[in-house]
Structure 1
Amino acid sequence: MPTMRDLKRRIKSIRNTQQITRAMKMVAAAKLRKIQYRVASGRPYGDKLAEVIGHLVASTDPGEQPLAAVREVRKVGYVLITADRGLAGGYNANLIRLAQERLAQEERPAALITIGRKGRDYFRRRQVEILEEYLNLGDAPDPVLARQIARRLMQLFLDGVLDEVYLIYSRFYSAIRQVPRVDKLLPITPPPGERPEAHEYIYEPGQKEVLGALLPRYCEIQVYRALLEAKASEHGARMTAMDHATENAAEMIEKLTLSFNRARQAAITREIVEVVAGAEALQ
């Protein structure tokens, strides 16, 4: 049975931990507020751009645009976006589990491009091929870095290193709900059921020139959007995890305080009994 000194030491330790988790929750909440607006404001643009690009690709010959060229798949690339740090509940574990399932189900040769330290470290220990890695993205994604990553992915696709590229990231819905998902990035294909004759466009200066400028931009926007969603999900998951940790610490402190008070009361009772027994012995 722990002594009063042990209980007091544990209460102090847990209270210090509670202060840390409460501070981490407040920091994560502040970071989430900053990036949540960017996520919400960017979604309409990204959705409309994806719709327009899908219509344009459906109405053109895929062979005219290298980024939309569908070819025999000899190697698949999965871009896994995780966090650089932990203490975010099941955020990283859920993404890694989804990536593992996709790799296990993949019958074709596959490789990873990791964004974030957690995913990189996990799959490096398991000897999975990692073509590229990007670390230390900070609290908010940099559009310049997103453009660099997107251009590198497009180059791997155009060079024939990868024949398909997928994004694995977590879509942000709220601080308590983040859903891991897989989106196809390359080649750029029209949405299911899209009919080429359903949309007619007038191109200036020409169809090839317009699509040649739009498709790379579309890939950059999709990568940047995935990074924003992932970072907002990370902050939301960390805020929720630290909130639960703070509440659990409060419950542990309450239980330990009750045990401490019982131990102190038992000690006081024992001393009173000893005093009474000593007084009776002197009579």
Structure 2
Amino acid sequence: MSRGRMLQIKRKINATQSLMKITRAMEMVARAKSRKMEAEYQKFKPFYEEVKRLWSLIPDESLDPVFFEEGDRDLIVVITSDMGLCGSFNSEIIREAEKVISESKNPHLILIGLKAINHFRTGNILKMYDRFYEIPDFRNGSTIVEDIYEFMDGRPVNVKVVFSRFKNILIQRPEVYDLIPLKRKEKKREDFEFEPLPEQLVPVVLHYYLSTTLMELMFQTKIGEFYARQNAMKNATDNAQEVIRELTLAYNKARQASITQELIEIVTGAEALKEIEK
């Protein structure tokens, strides 16, 4: 009985060791990807700051008033990851999205990431994008902006983006960003001469501003995803080591019990032989 128990424990130890090798490898991959993503984000930040600076110079009266008005329709952009194995990262984003949807009037959805697509299978889904980006670029943001313009169709609409804000290596929290209606800028009046004319320049600047803002939110989510996966795999590796320690202890106890049982049988047999010889 003890030998069968020992064999069973040994198999569990081997299986857990194999699993630990996988989780450790995934942790290392996630760590490398998070560093790469942060490096790409540092390259993007100066561009984003310059776009925001240019946007701040655009007078509000140059923009179509529809971008400042509250609409009777809500467009909700949900950004999740395509892959799992990152703890509660995606479930927290989805939970926040469900809250926003429940509080919205006539909500429509743009879903980015397989986790969001698999969860929100029904409802007013405008567009779905799986494996949309590995490293966010301007085309990604521009594509979503074009979808928003198409949905607006010249009428006011409320656009909210549900994403994950990267706080630090251990903390990533879902947030809601109000993209449209735009907030009016509080600044001193400055007179500029625009080249080309404002009616040509302003729509381009607005498109750049909205696209880069979406890129910023995608970067935040992607960096948070990699760190969440790194933390989840590290915890899994640590748990596997603890399981192996407990199984090894159980194996040693079972082996000791087996040895003790064999010694008892030998001694009992020897005593029996002595009785027979008498």
CA contact (8 A) 1:157 1:186 kept: no
Kindly provide the amino acid, as one letter, of the partner of residue 176 in structure 1.
L
1:240-282 Cα deviation digits (max 9, x unpaired)? 1101100010000001100010010011001001100000000
Question: What is the RMSD computed on CA atoms of the aligned residues?
Answer: 2.2
Structure 1 residue 48 displacement after superposition: 5.4
Match of 2:114 among 117, 136, 160: 117
Q: How many percent identity over aligned positions?
A: 31
CA contact (8 A) 2:142 2:207 kept: no
Distance 2:133 2:79 in 1: 13
Which residue does 1:28 correspond to in 2? 30
Distance 2:225 2:239 in 1: 21
SS in structure 1 at match of 2:219:
helix
1:188 matched to 2:182? The reply is yes
Which residue does 1:92 correspond to in 2? 90
Structure 1 residue 52 displacement after superposition: 4.8
- Which blocks of at least 5 consecutive residues in structure 1 are unaligned? none
Which residue does 1:49 correspond to in 2? 51
1:25-79 Cα deviation digits (max 9, x unpaired)? 11111111111122234335435533652553xx432xx5338533452210110
1:18 matched to 2:2? The reply is no
- Which blocks of at least 5 consecutive residues in structure 2 are unaligned? none
In structure 2, the CA distance between the partners of 1:179 and 1:40, relative to structure 1 (3 Å rule), is: farther
Kindly provide the amino acid, as one letter, of the partner of residue 63 in structure 2.
Q
1:150 matched to 2:150? The reply is no
Kindly provide the amino acid, as one letter, of the partner of residue 180 in structure 1.
P
Pairing of 1:191-230 with structure 2 (within 5 A): 191=185, 194-195=186-187, 198-205=188-195, 206-230=197-221
TM-score, scaled to structure 2: 0.89
Structure with max Cα Rg: 2
SS in structure 2 at match of 1:185:
strand
In structure 2, the CA distance between the partners of 1:199 and 1:135, relative to structure 1 (3 Å rule), is: same
Distance 2:108 2:192 in 1: 40
In structure 2, the CA distance between the partners of 1:131 and 1:221, relative to structure 1 (3 Å rule), is: same
Kindly provide the amino acid, as one letter, of the partner of residue 36 in structure 2.
K
CA contact (8 A) 1:203 1:210 kept: no
Distance 2:50 2:167 in 1: 19
